[in-house]
A and B are shown apart, each in its own frame.
Chain A
């Protein structure tokens, strides 16, 4: 059979070079990546890329850095959990990987502007949310009150500790963190992330909530947010799904008639509340 080179294939990858890596916890590592020729990724906060470690495979990964970054590089925070992520963790600065994207619908930042924000992250959910948090900090005056609530299994699982310390110091953000299981040195709150929400002072009609975490987390967090009278269309959720193409074809990310890769990964609650497969 004849083999023909395709110049317009959607599977063509851009070359990405790992500039720096930073071990965040035993399992999570942050990678700073630059595209060939200094090209910008040009993503929206909340969008994802398809990242290839050739030979191991290709995976969807959310971008952790803000497009408002001055440098043209971007960051992804990856937990070593499968074949590709474990292969990626073995790579070092200077190594090359494949990048496709960005894909999907990110957080609707233009709609957020002029409103208050309540950002809620559970565990690794901070990885996609960090792209929004950093964007908001870089453009802080475009937004009203900003709340960040963070929930982790244990203090050792908290990602981006140094940055969190900085959020804690800022006067223009309300930040709180809770862990499911404390250790003796832990000075913060203990309990599920849902316990933090009732104490937040917010004006529901002008507040947009952003929730990123595992299904068991967003299910209960959304309940608390609705109890706070935040309208459904102002509650944004970002979904994690299995994906192979990023183009609404392979079928893996399908939630009933919706494709997380094209229609999402960010949805508002009204869009997904009747979709039983969404949680």
Chain B
């Protein structure tokens, strides 16, 4: 086992690298999709790839947990016969930002926890990951520094950092090494390449600072004290319960399971499709009882599923700071604003208590 290794890819070789890789297997990467919108899509050359992009409309979770996937095929023609299936293919995702790498790490934890989800695990096994560093903020909605997702911490086979005329590439796994070997466009990194990377990271430390004035380790307590906050009522009044925030979230994985029959009404399949806790029917039982009937309760649930509940279970936040929920919300509900309001309210309560004491 060698030490962590770095290689260099000259910018003029990038197109050739992607072209060759795409001949070996399916490659998806961020491409421009109308004004200020990007999407992970299949590519066959490097030219179509947006190397500078704000988080894509949908995060790469769509490859790990497709919007619709068949879990089971059944035939009721002669009694009941069924078979569990997974549809997957080998592929490489190029250009995943650190926020989305963190999102995949969250999903990995959820679906590898027992009872394991073997559909997810099959997708995971088939997908190679090439990360891409953000040298600067994508826009004002991001809060990746707050949740410690602005710099890489694993979760990739290769990781690209743009150094102007070249990329420096961190090789994290043997799979990554194999990609380097099989495409033959890389040079080994020299001292000046590593120095440039160190300098860039040092610069990032002053550029990326926590976007909300709270120590991350106090966030669970902030939420413990905010369960009855009026902030949730305000969110409830504005929320349109469209479910966009959860669909674009890299760590939201709630799903529905629905059967679909062929026209002959004998055979069919059981599909898993994305669902959203923001929809009115999500927690409603057949008898009519609804355990999160109010939009305020559903918004609150979303935030607690990001900042409070997973801390207990997985020792991390399930917010990666990508900003997609804020960017997509039709009612202008912004994650950073919500956290700021909770902090303000908490500080008011504390100061009122203090005044009462003295």
> Which residues of A are in contact with B by a Cβ distance under 8 Å?
1-13, 15, 52, 54-59, 79, 81-82, 85, 96-98, 124, 214-215, 240-242, 244-245, 247-252, 254-257, 276-277
Contact = CB atoms under 8 A, between A and B. Distances in A.
Nearest to B111: A249
Interface in B104-132: 110-111, 113, 115-119, 122
B138 to A, nearest CB: 28
B334 interface: no
Contact of B313 (A57, A255, A257): A257
Contact of A5 (B80, B85, B256): B85
B282 A242 contact: yes
Contact of B118 (A9, A85, A96, A248): A9
B122 A240 contact: no
A57 B257 contact: yes
A250 B72 contact: no
Contacts of A256: 304, 309
A251 B289 contact: no
B207 interface: no
Contact of A244 (B87, B255, B304): B255
Nearest to A11: B71
Interface string B270-285: 1000010100001111
Contact of B255 (A2, A55, A251): A251
Nearest to B256: A244
Given A9-B71, A9-B119, A10-B118, A242 B88 contact: no
A249 B287 contact: no
A15 B283 CA distance: 29
B254 interface: yes
B14 interface: no
A5 B70 CA distance: 11
Interface in B1-19: none
Contact of B72 (A11, A97, A277): A11
B227 A276 contact: yes
24 contacts: A1-B88, A2-B88, A3-B85, A3-B87, A4-B86, A4-B87, A6-B85, A6-B122, A9-B71, A9-B72, A10-B116, A13-B72, A54-B80, A55-B261, A58-B270, A59-B286, A214-B287, A215-B289, A244-B256, A245-B257, A250-B256, A255-B291, A276-B227, A277-B292
A206 B270 CA distance: 48
B258 interface: yes
A15 B115 CA distance: 21
Contacts of A3: 70, 85-87
Nearest to A55: B261
Interface string B317-339: 00000000000000000000000
Nearest to B84: A9
A6 B86 contact: yes
Contacts of A6: 84-86, 118-119, 122
Contacts of A240: 285, 287, 289
B297 interface: yes
A6 to B, nearest CB: 4
Contacts of B286: 59, 81-82, 85, 242
B118 A5 contact: no
B178 interface: no
Contacts of A97: 80
B221 interface: no
Given A13-B82, A214-B289, A249 B110 contact: yes
A11 B275 contact: no
Interface string B247-270: 000000111111101000100101
A54 B79 contact: no
B289 A250 contact: no
Contacts of A58: 257, 259, 270
Contact of B117 (A10, A241, A242): A10
Given A2-B87, A6-B119, A55-B261, A277 B291 contact: yes
A6 B116 CA distance: 13
Given A6-B122, A240-B289, 9 more contacts: A9-B71, A9-B86, A12-B82, A81-B287, A85-B286, A124-B287, A215-B289, A250-B257, A255-B291
Contacts of B89: 1-2
Given A240-B287, A250-B255, A12 B80 contact: no
Contacts of B80: 13, 15, 54, 96-98
Interface string B62-104: 0000000011101010011011111111000000000000000
B88 A55 contact: no
Contact of A11 (B256, B258, B270): B270
B312 interface: yes
B339 to A, nearest CB: 19
Contacts of B110: 249
B193 to A, nearest CB: 39
Contact of B115 (A10, A52, A79): A10
Nearest to B74: A54
B308 interface: yes
A177 B297 CA distance: 36
